[in-house]
Structure formats: C-alpha cells, structure tokens
Amino acid sequence: EVHLVASGGGLVQPGRSLRLSCSASGFTFGDWAVSWVRQAPGRGLEWVSSIRSEGYGGTTEYAASVKDRFTISRDDSKSIAYLQMSSLKPEDTAVYYCARRDCNNIFCAALDPWGQGTPVIVSS
C-alpha cells in the first residue's frame, strides 16, 4: 500500500527554522515527484512546493509566498522528502501535507495520495 507520513511540525518562534519530513513506503520513491501543500486553520488549501524525480533533474518549484525562505529536497536512498523552512512568519502557521505525484519536465499530474499532515505553529 502506498503510504506517506509527514512529520517534524511543532511550535516555533517567528524568524526561526524548522524542517519537515515526508516518509514514503509502498512504492519506488525515486520514480515519483513530491509536493507540499498547506492549510491554515479554518482555511483552504495552498500549494507550497514540488520536487521532481531525479529522472527529471530533481528540479523544484515554489509558491511566491515561500520562495527564498523554504527549500524542498529529497533523499531517495531513505525514501524521504524534506521541506526546510526558515525565517518563519506567523502566516506560515498551517497543517502541512505531503503528497505524491507524477511530473515531467513541464508539468505535474494530480496529487495522490496525501500524507496525514503535520501542524506548524509560528508564534512567540
């Protein structure tokens, strides 16, 4: 069974950093892209970042709201994707989900499946 588990969330002060992990199982992780999507309390979904498989160069995409502050990466030997978040702001408070997807050089397909999400609270 394909399974993703997001972890690493917690309470962090504004301006500090946090690293989220997305652990995958049940499929060949290196063949797939991974995305992070967040959901602020009581709000809708916001795409955050995506990383393609190494077969497509492992290239990355970011939302403007996190570009230059967040870095997505992957370790295919461990079947884990990461989201390194720095210079955190209160508006980054959200549940962060990771999801698998198929991407080529140009675009990515739908997100499926999603992990259960890890909460991040940015507050002093």
Partner 1 sequence: EIVMTQSPATLSVSPGERATLSCRASQSVGSNLAWYQQKPGQAPRLLIYSGSARASGVPDRFSGSGSGTEFTLTISSLQSGDFAVYYCQQHNDWPETFGPGTKVDIK
* Chain residues that interact with partner 1, rule: CB under 8 A: 37, 44-47, 50, 61, 63-64, 97, 107-117
**Contact assessment for residue 5 and residue 97, using Cβ atoms and an 8 Å cutoff:** no
Q: Within its chain, how far is the Cα of 20 from the centroid?
A: 7
Beta carbon nearer to partner 1, 13 or 107: 107
Q: Which is nearer to partner 1, 4 or 88 (CB)?
A: 4
List, in sequence order, every residue forming a beta bridge with 15; answer none if it has no partner.
none
In the complex, the smallest distance separating the C-beta of residue 76 from partner 1, rounded to whole angstroms, is: 23
Identity (one letter) of the amino acid at 34? V
**Residue 60 or 84 having the CB closest to partner 1:** 60
